[in-house]
Amino acid sequence: MESSLIDGLSERISQASSIYSSVGVVLPSNNYNDFSHAMFEYMKTQKSITWVYVTITNPFHGIKKQYPGIIDSLNIRFIDCVSLAAGIKSNDDLCYFLDSPSQLEKLTLEILSFIKESSRDEKSVVVIDSLSSLILYNDDLLVTEFFSHLINNLNLVNAHSISLCIEEEMNDMMHKILYLKNEKILKIKESFI
């Protein structure tokens, strides 16, 4: 069952991201791990893409430990927004450790810097895990401005985005910005899973 679940989620991500430049994903918190697994399985099949994975939900070392074979085979850079804020000091060439998830301007600059470092011939995709978690650290208006600014800048450099939102963390403002700024929304329901 779990394998078909992961395959189904991975297929939905693949279809949406091949057509649309910005994809928002809304899912219940109890399906977060399934989505993460599906996302990395999808990324594994897309080795020609330059990936920038922004983690606000889990520390980088936990993700690296959970998906070692996949991460080592990808053209991927991470931005960890939570480790240093939690007092976890780490150093890794694959990851930039942001001091705090409240540094939204610095986060935007690091994302764009990683995109510009990649070859112009390669497709770039930014994965935000999870946009709704930023509301725990920032005013919702600031998160809205950050996301709007980020999507506009990604469009200018022809980069794509996949933004995850945990349903239980979303408020009205998050719903509005997610639906306004993304070309496609995947709403994962427990009945699907």
Average pLDDT estimate for 43-72: 91
Q: What percent of the chain has pLDDT over 90?
A: 66
Q: Is 167 exposed, middle or buried (0-12, 13-18, 19+ CB in 10 A)?
A: middle
Least confident range from 3-12, 41-50, 147-156, 168-177: namely 3-12
Kindly indicate the confidence band of residue 8, based on its pLDDT and cuts at 50, 70 and 90: confident
Mean of the per-residue pLDDT values for the chain?
Answer: 90
pLDDT surpasses 70 at 56: yes
Kindly indicate the confidence band of residue 155, based on its pLDDT and cuts at 50, 70 and 90: very high
Handedness of CA 63, 64, 69, 72 (dihedral sign): positive
The pLDDT, as a whole number, for residue 1 is 45
Which CATH number is 2-187's, of 3.40.50.720, 3.40.50.300, 3.40.190.10, 3.90.1300.10? 3.40.50.300
The pLDDT, as a whole number, for residue 190 is 67
In this prediction the pTM is: 0.93
The pLDDT, as a whole number, for residue 134 is 94
pLDDT surpasses 90 at 71: no
Average pLDDT estimate for 104-120: 91
Alpha-carbon span 151 to 149, nearest angstrom: 6
pLDDT surpasses 80 at 101: yes
The pLDDT, as a whole number, for residue 157 is 93
Alpha-carbon span 72 to 77, nearest angstrom: 11
Residue 98 in contact with residue 106, Cβ under 8 Å?
yes
Residue 29 token pair: 């918190």
Find the helix or strand (DSSP H, E) in which 125 lies: strand 124-129
Average pLDDT estimate for 40-57: 92
Instruction: Say how many C-beta atoms besides its own lie within 10 A of residue 131's C-beta.
Output: 28
pLDDT surpasses 50 at 193: no
Kindly indicate the confidence band of residue 78, based on its pLDDT and cuts at 50, 70 and 90: very high
